[in-house]
Amino acid sequence: MRYKEPKHRTILEATKEELAQLLEKSKNDNWKPIYHIHPEFGLLNDPNGLAYFNGYYHLFHQWYPYGTTHGMKHWAHLKSKNLVEWTREKVALIPTEDYEAHGAYSGTALEINHQLYLYYTGNIKLDKINRSANQCLAIMNGEGKIEKYAFNPLIKGIPEGYTGHVRDPKVFKKNDSYYMILGAQRVNETGAFIVYQSSNGLDWNFLGELTLKNLNQSLGYMWECPDYMEINGKDLLIFSPQGIEPQNEKYKNLFNVTYAIGMLDLETLTFEVESFDEFESGFDFYATQMFKGKDGQTLLFAWAGLGEFEYPTDEFGWAHCLTFPREITIKENKVLQMPAKELSLLRLDRESKSDRCQGVVLIENKTNTYELNVTLETNNTNLFGIHLAVSDEEHLNLEFNKSSQTVTLDRSKLKHQFVEEFGVYRQSQLTIGDKVEVKILMDNSIAEIFINQGEVVFTTRLFPLKTSTNIEIFSDQFMTYQYEKYDLKQGIVKREDDLEVFNR
Ligand code: FRU
C-alpha cells in the first residue's frame, strides 16, 4: 500500500466546484504581483525546467494546488515569447505514477535532439518520516506536448552512502557527454553533490561525489538545488545548502543560497573553488535556477520565499512568487545580478526629477507596481537612503551608512510582520564612494533591490496596506539625487479559461 496523507492529492482529484472555490478565494487579492510569476492559487516554490526552446521561454515551477502548505508537488507551466509577458499553460507534470508517488520535485531542462528533456525527482514517502527518491524524465516535443518517459525512472532509488534526500537534478552537456548533478545528504548527515554521466541523456551511470576543493567551511546537512553554468570561461556553481550557521550579518535566513566560482573538472570530479560567498543579501530568496536566454545571456530565476513559514497571503489561499528574471555576469570573481533587459518592455509612464535635498523628500506615488532608478551623489552625507511603501503608518527602509560602509534593508516598520523570528533587517558590506546607484522593482508584495549594478541585491516580500504607496528619499546632509520611475504593466496574463488550465 502506498503511504498517503490528505495532502497527497493531485489536481486530477479536484471537483469543478472545488477548483472554482480555490480560484474565487484568491482572485481579488491586492497583494498579487502583476509582473512576477505567482500561482493563481495554492503554493509556489522552486522554479523548474527553465529553457528557451523553439522560440519560447518555458518556465515551470513547483506547485501545490490545495492550499499554502507544502503538499503534493506538481510542475505548473508558463510560456513567454519575450521573458516578461507570460501565459499560463496546462499543468505540465501531475504526479500520478508510483515512481513519483509523493510529488514531482524540482529539476532542470535540456534540449536534446530537438526535444526539451525535463529532468525531475520523483519524491517517495515510505512513511511519515522516511523517504526515497527516483530521478525521472518527461519530454516536450516540438509541438509543445509533454509526456512522461515510458521507461521511468531513469535512476531508481538512492546510491549507497546517502539518505533518502537525493534530488533536484541539474543536467547539462559537456564534451559530448551528459552530466547530472544531484543534491544529496550523506548518511552522516552532511550535504554533498553526486554526479551521474550519460551518453544519450537516458541511461545514467553513477560517477561519485563532487569534491569542492579549497572550501574551508562546513556547509550544513543537505544541499538542495545544484545550479551550474559556464560563464565566459569561468564555472559558476550556485546551491541552496540547509543548515549553515549564521556568520555576523551573513546566512541569517533559515536556509541560504551560496555560490562558488572556479573550475569544474568532471574527469576528477572536483570543483576548484576560487571564490565563495552568500549569493543574495535579502530575506526571501531560495532555490535558484540559471539557463541560457535567447541571446546566449545567463538568466536566473529564484523562489522569492523559503521554508514553511506563514505569510499574510495564506488567508487568500495563495503563497509566494518567483523573482523577476535576472541576468548574471561575473566580474573579478564576484557575481553581479541585474534585472533582465526585457524589463523595459513592461514600462509605461515615466517620471523623473533631479534636485538637492536634506532631510526627507516625498515622491507621491499611487501604486506599488513600478521600477525606480535612483542615483545619489553622496559626497557629504553619512546616512541616507530610500523609504518604500510609505504611508503615515509604515514603510520599508533601505539605509546606507558611509562610516560603517554598510547597506541595510529593514522591514521592522512594516505593519504586517512575518518570519520575524529570523530578524527584521538584513545588512551587507558595500564600498560607498561618492555615488550610489539603486534600481528597485516593486510589485505589490515583492521588492527587489539592486545596488551598484547588482553588486549587492536584496529580495524581500512585503505586505503593505493599500494606502502605503509613496516613496521617500532621505539624507542627513545635503545630497544631490536623481530618479526616474516607470509604472509597469501586467506581465502575467490572466486567462479566460482558467479552469481548463488546471483541470485536464
Ligand atoms: C527546495 C526543495 C527541493 C525540492 C522541492 C520540493 O525548495 O526542497 O529540494 O525538490 O523544494 O518542492
* Residues 6+ away with beta carbon under 8 Å from 123: 73, 95, 100, 101, 102, 103, 104, 105, 131, 133, 167
* Residues 6+ away with beta carbon under 8 Å from 237: 212, 226, 227, 228, 259, 260, 261, 262, 264, 271
Q: Is the pLDDT of residue 496 over 80?
A: no
C-alpha of residue 286 to centroid of ligand 1, in Å = 10
**Parallel/antiparallel/unpaired status of strands 56-64 and 131-140:** unpaired
- Please indicate, yes or no, whether residues 335 and 353 belong to a single structural domain of this protein: no
- Please indicate, yes or no, whether residues 389 and 467 belong to a single structural domain of this protein: yes
- Please indicate, yes or no, whether residues 322 and 361 belong to a single structural domain of this protein: no
Judge whether 496 lies within some domain: no
- Please indicate, yes or no, whether residues 412 and 290 belong to a single structural domain of this protein: no
Final residue of a domain: which of 282, 311, 339?
A: 339
| Mean pLDDT to the nearest integer, 324-329 | 98
| Mean pLDDT to the nearest integer, 371-390 | 96
Nearest Cα residue to atom 9 of ligand 1: 224
Q: Is the pLDDT of residue 499 over 80?
A: no
Q: Using the atom order of ligand 1, give the atom closest to the CA of residue 107.
A: 10
d(CA 195, CA 181) in angstroms, rounded, equals 5
Band (pLDDT 50/70/90 cuts) for residue 217 is confident
**Which grid coordinates belong to 168?**
533536484
Band (pLDDT 50/70/90 cuts) for residue 504 is very low
* Residues 6+ away with beta carbon under 8 Å from 118: 48, 49, 60, 75, 92, 93, 107, 109, 137, 138, 139, 140, 146
- Please indicate, yes or no, whether residues 422 and 319 belong to a single structural domain of this protein: no
CB distance 167 to ligand 1 below 6 Å: yes
- Please indicate, yes or no, whether residues 220 and 329 belong to a single structural domain of this protein: yes
Final residue of a domain: which of 321, 339, 357?
A: 339
Q: Count how many residues are written for the chain.
A: 504
Q: Three-state SS for 31? A: coil
CATH number at residue 303: 2.115.10.20
- Please indicate, yes or no, whether residues 62 and 43 belong to a single structural domain of this protein: yes
Q: Three-state SS for 288? A: strand
If one counts every other C-beta atom within 10 angstroms of the C-beta of residue 108, the result is 28
Average per-residue pLDDT in the chain? 96
Judge whether 390 lies within some domain: yes
Write out pLDDT tens, residues 240-298: 999 999 999 999 999 999 999 999 999 999 999 999 999 999 999 999 999 999 999 99
Q: Would you name the residues annotated as active-site residues?
A: 46
Write out pLDDT tens, residues 452-471: 999 999 999 999 999 999 99
- Please indicate, yes or no, whether residues 335 and 401 belong to a single structural domain of this protein: no
CB distance 224 to ligand 1 below 6 Å: yes
Judge whether 493 lies within some domain: no
Nearest Cα residue to atom 6 of ligand 1: 105
Residue from 168, 286, 309 to probe ligand 1 pocket by mutation (most atoms less than 8 Å from CB): 168
Judge whether 495 lies within some domain: no
CATH number at residue 470: 2.60.120.560
d(CA 473, CA 412) in angstroms, rounded, equals 18
- Please indicate, yes or no, whether residues 79 and 211 belong to a single structural domain of this protein: yes
CB distance 185 to ligand 1 below 6 Å: no
Residue-range definition of the domain harbouring residue 181:
11-339
d(CA 357, CA 203) in angstroms, rounded, equals 65
How many separate domains does the chain show? 2
**Which grid coordinates belong to 371?**
521600477
Judge whether 70 lies within some domain: yes
* Residues 6+ away with beta carbon under 8 Å from 246: 252
Write out pLDDT tens, residues 174-205: 999 999 999 999 999 999 999 999 999 999 99
Judge whether 105 lies within some domain: yes
If one counts every other C-beta atom within 10 angstroms of the C-beta of residue 499, the result is 13
Phi and psi at residue 227, to the nearest 5°: -140, 120
d(CA 399, CA 416) in angstroms, rounded, equals 20
- Please indicate, yes or no, whether residues 303 and 400 belong to a single structural domain of this protein: no
Q: Is the pLDDT of residue 494 over 90?
A: no
Judge whether 479 lies within some domain: yes
- Please indicate, yes or no, whether residues 263 and 143 belong to a single structural domain of this protein: yes
Q: Is the pLDDT of residue 334 over 90?
A: yes
Rg of the chain on CA atoms, in Å: 22
In the chain, % of residues over pLDDT 90: 95
Q: What angle do CA 211, 283, 318 make, to 5 degrees?
A: 105
**DSSP one-letter code for 21:** H
Final residue of a domain: which of 339, 374, 409?
A: 339
Contacts 24+ apart (CB under 8 A), 398-403: 398/438, 398/449, 398/458, 400/376, 400/430, 400/432, 400/436, 401/432, 402/378, 402/432
Q: What angle do CA 110, 115, 116 make, to 5 degrees?
A: 35
Residue 503: its pLDDT value, please?
A: 59
In the chain, % of residues over pLDDT 70: 98
Residue from 224, 254, 255, 323 to probe ligand 1 pocket by mutation (most atoms less than 8 Å from CB): 224
Residue 298: its pLDDT value, please?
A: 98
Residue 218: its pLDDT value, please?
A: 81
Residue 394: its pLDDT value, please?
A: 98
Q: Using the atom order of ligand 1, give the atom closest to the CA of residue 255.
A: 7
Q: Using the atom order of ligand 1, give the atom closest to the CA of residue 121.
A: 10
Write out pLDDT tens, residues 39-81: 999 999 999 999 999 999 999 999 999 999 999 999 999 999 9
Residue from 120, 135, 225 to probe ligand 1 pocket by mutation (most atoms less than 8 Å from CB): 225
- Please indicate, yes or no, whether residues 201 and 90 belong to a single structural domain of this protein: yes
- From the list 226, 227, 210, 214, the residue with the least C-alpha distance to 267 is 210
Judge whether 497 lies within some domain: no
